[in-house]
Chains A and B, each alone.
Chain A
Amino acid sequence: MIPEIGHVLLIGALAVTFIGGCLPFYEFVSKKDYSQSYVKLFSILTVFLVTGSFICLIYSFLVDDFSVAYVATNSNTLLPDYYKFAATWGAHEGSLVLWILCLSLWLVGYMFSKNNVNDSFSSITFAVMNQVIFAFILFTLFTSNPFERLLPFSPLEGGDLNPSLQDFAFTIHPPLLYLGYSGLALPFSLAIAAMITKNIDSLWASNSRPWSLLSCAFLTLGIGLGSWWAYYELGWGGWWFWDPVENAAFVPWLISIALFHSLIVTERRGVFKNWSLLLSILSFGASLLGTFLVRSGVLTSVHAFALDPERGLFILGIFTYFIFGALLIYSLKNTKTQSESTYSLTSIEFGFLLNNLLLVVLAISIMFGTVFPLLYEAYTNGDQVSVGPPYFNILILPFAIGLGFLQGIGLFLGWSDTKDFSFLNRLVIEAMTVLIVINIVLYFLFGSFNTGSLVACLLFAWIVSGNILDVVINKRSVSKIKSFLSFRLGAIFAHLGIAFLVLGIGVVSSYSSEKELLLSVGESYDLDGYVFEFENMNVKRGPNYIADVAILKIRENTKTISLSSEKRNYLSANQETTEAGIVADLFKDYYVALGENLQGDTWSFRLQVKPFVRWIWFGALLVAIGTFISSIKLLRKKA
């Protein structure tokens, strides 16, 4: 009964969003009086219906209702309750419902962040959001209904949630990522509303800014968590693989950053209007294209949910409708988007232009590398090709250097023109000092010097000096420093986050050690000064798995650390997974993955020491915090 209620609620939401997606357009054309608007009421209704439907699905998981096909394939009675709950979005169908829920939360968030929504602009924004939600509900109901029953022959026991997904980070990674992805629908809707109601002005830009920041914050958290999860769960010790699905999230992330920077200029100076509109469309387009790539299974990826061309076609249809529709409106709009001010080559406007150019071209190049195998296959009639990670690594370096450089000087540039360039000398001196200090620290930590991390160290020094060091040194009074910091707080956090991220990437890719080898109980191996000793082997029983556990001791100078690494066999699917043993401190991780038993007490191991790897996720967290701070400040200011 409960699954049917969930199904009906979703159909109800379909109906409500259909009306919400059409009615405002009719009213706009017939020049309705907007004094009595229903958009808040409708938004609340949609959220209630979708949440209700989602709760029904969760309930079906918690009570092991295996007559529901989706539950039967993705859960079983042995699964701990917490993971039954999280299994709701563990596969395609349920994650779509979560996606719809995120979209409707954004809708309600926007409508209630404004005191007055009784105007055509809010009304059209509401309509476009409703169309997006409608399209996704339609997609869910027609191609991927999670409430479908297996009757009358329902199984007594379910399959299993993919073991590598039975994990804490996984349970929160998808909701955060989806909030980010779906949040980009809001700047998109605002851009469409601005074009239709001819309000391409700073009011539109200031409405759109906090939401593009907020989606970017959620995307950052989602991507960061995903990277952390892949690091400890997959047993390779890698934190980024340039997998198509990672790229599908990375590209919208880059474009959302470009978007909120461009919107600053549009709001403050009344320029870059067309560009901000285009970016709003592009960012949602990237989010939809990412969805298409992930869901259709056209690309080789670890995440390919299902190889179903019908779903792929449907999403392609949604993509075409929204993106081509939006571009059509864009090209037909006959409002003059007059630039309201001018700028020179040494202005912050030009700095933002470069920032946007670098971000967007990088995003397009990454997207190109990601879909290239598809293009190649179509062009050569079926020859298959893959684009290796080095492509992306080579590509990103010059862009990272350019963006890092801009981050260091950006805060010193003036609107329209920069009059005083004396900051450059100070910056260079400060950055060089930081650079030397870091390299001395690295030398003492690792006993050697590696030039591979030099670029990363330089960018770190430059960004840190430009964003905070110079202010602290050169603003004479404490109150001046304070007012500067509180004004720039979000930006400083986010830029410092990027600095830590870059430093982490640079150090971990040049100072890491790795070795795959065989060890018998009692044997030890010296990996660049860290001695790994294989102490003994145990067997452990979990709720739904049996594990072989290897206990190791790691000795570094006088310190000894104990570490255990597991190989789990999940019973219901008879599937093996590696639970890497990780011991972390501030400067490095010891990472041990257990391979297989060759004979007697001899096992294969992958031993790794990964310095500064935590700094990558710490940096991402700072970026997220910074963007959160900025968006909340903007929302407060408006209300």
Chain B
Amino acid sequence: MHPLRKQRVYAIVTVFLGIVIAMVLVMSALSKNMNLFYSPSELLNSEISPGSIIRAGGMVASGSIEKSSDSLEVMFLITDFQNSLPVVYNGILPDLFSEDAGVVVKGFLQEDGTFFAQEVLAKHDENYMPPEVAKMLDKVE
């Protein structure tokens, strides 16, 4: 084969293989690490198998934060002003976590209907509303 043509074949085959392998990798990594977002009302009506990792968000209901006095356990309600979802978290809350502020939690539903949060996200700006929560509240209104 002409060297130039041979070289072109190498290049094309390599690129093709690279892309196929990458696509397989992307798809498998994605299918395991997609976390769907739910509002409290959506969670109430949906059938999510307990244990699968999801995200939920809403406003922290005023007066709902209960802190344990001898451990890091915290319980609070997040609400979309129609329904609310009890959340349990074991750890240090972010600085911007507070009542009547938007919050997104990542974790799973437990058998008793409470949400066990592995992560609580409140962002780094006092005016900031998580986009998911903002969109959700728009829908409710």
Contacts and interface: CB of A to CB of B under 8 A. Distances in A.
B126 interface: yes
A518 B72 contact: yes
Contacts of B131: 297-300, 304, 307
A365 B3 contact: no
A342 B123 CA distance: 54
A454 B33 CA distance: 25
B140 interface: no
A529 interface: no
B55 A575 contact: no
Contact of A395 (B29, B91, B134): B29
Given A343-B7, A357-B14, A518-B70, A384 B92 contact: no
Interface string B127-141: 010111011000100
A517 B4 contact: no
Contact of B19 (A297, A339, A361, A387): A361
B45 interface: no
A606 B135 CA distance: 33
Contacts of B92: 516, 593, 595-596, 604-606
B19 to A, nearest CB: 6
Contact of A388 (B7, B33, B72, B91): B33
Interface string A567-608: 000000111111000000000000001011011000011100
Interface string A552-579: 0000000000000000000001111110
B44 to A, nearest CB: 17
Interface string B79-113: 00000000000011101100000001010000000
B37 A345 contact: no
Contact of A385 (B3, B4, B36, B69): B36
B40 to A, nearest CB: 14
A297 B127 CA distance: 14
B20 to A, nearest CB: 10
A234 B29 contact: no
User: What is the interface of chain A mostly: helix, strand, loop, or mixed?
Assistant: mixed
B105 to A, nearest CB: 12
Contacts of B19: 361
Interface in A362-419: 362, 364-365, 368-369, 372, 376, 382-391, 394-395, 398
Contact of A599 (B30, B69, B139): B69
A525 to B, nearest CB: 13
A354 interface: yes
Given A342-B3, A357-B14, A386 B37 contact: yes
A41 interface: no
A135 to B, nearest CB: 27
Given A300-B131, A357-B15, A387-B30, A395 B25 contact: yes
B72 A517 contact: yes
A387 B135 CA distance: 18
Nearest to A604: B92
A598 B69 contact: yes
Contacts of A362: 22
A302 B123 contact: yes
A599 to B, nearest CB: 6
Nearest to B36: A385
A544 interface: no
A369 B91 CA distance: 28
A318 interface: no
Contacts of A391: 29-30, 32-33
Contacts of B93: 595-596
B39 to A, nearest CB: 9
Nearest to A365: B26
B4 A598 contact: no
Given A307-B131, A386-B35, A162 B124 contact: yes
A339 B4 contact: yes
Top 9 A-B residue pairs of the complex, sorted by shortest distance between their CB atoms: A384-B37, A391-B33, A595-B92, A342-B3, A394-B29, A388-B33, A576-B95, A361-B22, A357-B18
14 contacts: A298-B131, A300-B104, A307-B131, A342-B4, A342-B7, A361-B19, A362-B22, A387-B33, A388-B53, A518-B71, A573-B126, A575-B95, A575-B96, A599-B69
Interface of B: 3-4, 7, 10-11, 14-15, 18-19, 22, 25-26, 28-30, 32-37, 53, 55, 67, 69-72, 91-93, 95-96, 104, 106, 123-126, 128, 130-132, 134-135, 139
